[in-house]
Amino acid sequence: GQSLEQPSEVTAVEGAIVQINCTYQTSGFYGLSWYQQHDGGAPTFLSYNALDGLEETGRFSSFLSRSDSYGYLLLQELQMKDSASYFCACFSNYQLIWGAGTKLIIKP
Amino acid sequence: DAGVTQSPTHLIKTRGQQVTLRCSPKSGHDTVSWYQQALGQGPQFIFQYYEEEERQRGNFPDRFSGHQFPNYSSELNVNALLLGDSALYLCASSSGVGRATYGYTFGSGTRLTVV
């Protein structure tokens, strides 16, 4: 089957760095995406990795290792507004297959 | 530039009833995908519409059907509602059928409660 595994919850302190891991098992893998979703809100696109390596977008970075079927999202200089759920997702047959999401809790 | 617009935002229905949810894609987008998100879970793909046709379908029963109009807007219809259909229904738009490298644009969703 196709699945993505990520931790259900991660806690960090404001100003710190946090890493959210994602392992996947899919057929026809085309790349790994990351989305942020605040409670009651729409998922918003953060990043996409098609090739191995690190992609950086401001305070957020995303990494992919295709040989390990593994990726992570790195959030730096955490702010309280970063408190949200983060989802990894990958494309298969023109649809996004999603992980169950990681709830990021940030403490002052 | 308007993003994806979904209506209504909230809806309460009784078991066995039928419901229609609506979605207007982001300007410039021609592809609409529908997802169901249960509480505490990731979204599950229902189907995708492009050029007014259903192009891909996820593992959902025939009670779930849809339509895309010439202006690219879309409807999701669910018949014979079950309690388990209670969820957030998300519409995502993109340009062209494919892998949407730069990400889908999601609406804020319709929260459907079946009682």
**A87 and B107: CB-CB below 8 Å?**
no
pLDDT at position B1 is 56
Interacting residues of B61 by C-beta distance below 8 A, sequence separation 6+: none
Q: Given pLDDT bands bounded at 50, 70 and 90, which one contains residue B98? A: low
Interacting residues of B71 by C-beta distance below 8 A, sequence separation 6+: none
- Amino acid letter for position A108: P
d(CA A43, CA B88): 12
pLDDT at position A72 is 98
- Does residue B97 carry a pLDDT above 70? no
pLDDT at position B37 is 95
pLDDT at position B23 is 98
d(CA B40, CA B21): 22
Interacting residues of A58 by C-beta distance below 8 A, sequence separation 6+: none
Question: Angle at Cα A88 formed by Cα A94 and Cα B63, nearest 5°?
Answer: 50
pLDDT at position A26 is 82
**A44 and B102: CB-CB below 8 Å?**
no
pLDDT at position B12 is 98
- Which stretch of DSSP H or E encloses residue B35? strand B31-37
Query: Residues B63-87: what's their mean pLDDT?
Result: 97
Query: Residues B24-37: what's their mean pLDDT?
Result: 94
pLDDT at position B72 is 96
**A41 and B108: CB-CB below 8 Å?**
yes
Beta strands in A2-101 (DSSP E): 3-5, 9-13, 18-25, 32-37, 44-49, 53-57, 60-65, 70-75, 84-92, 95-98
- Does residue B100 carry a pLDDT above 70? no
Residues of chain B with Cβ-Cβ distance to A98 below 8 Å are: 42-44
Low-confidence ranges of chain A (pLDDT < 50): none
> Nearest CB to A98: which of B42, B56, B103?
B42
Sign of CA dihedral B103, A45, A75, A25: negative
pLDDT at position B71 is 96
- Does residue B78 carry a pLDDT above 90? yes
pLDDT at position A91 is 79
**B106 and A89: CB-CB below 8 Å?**
no
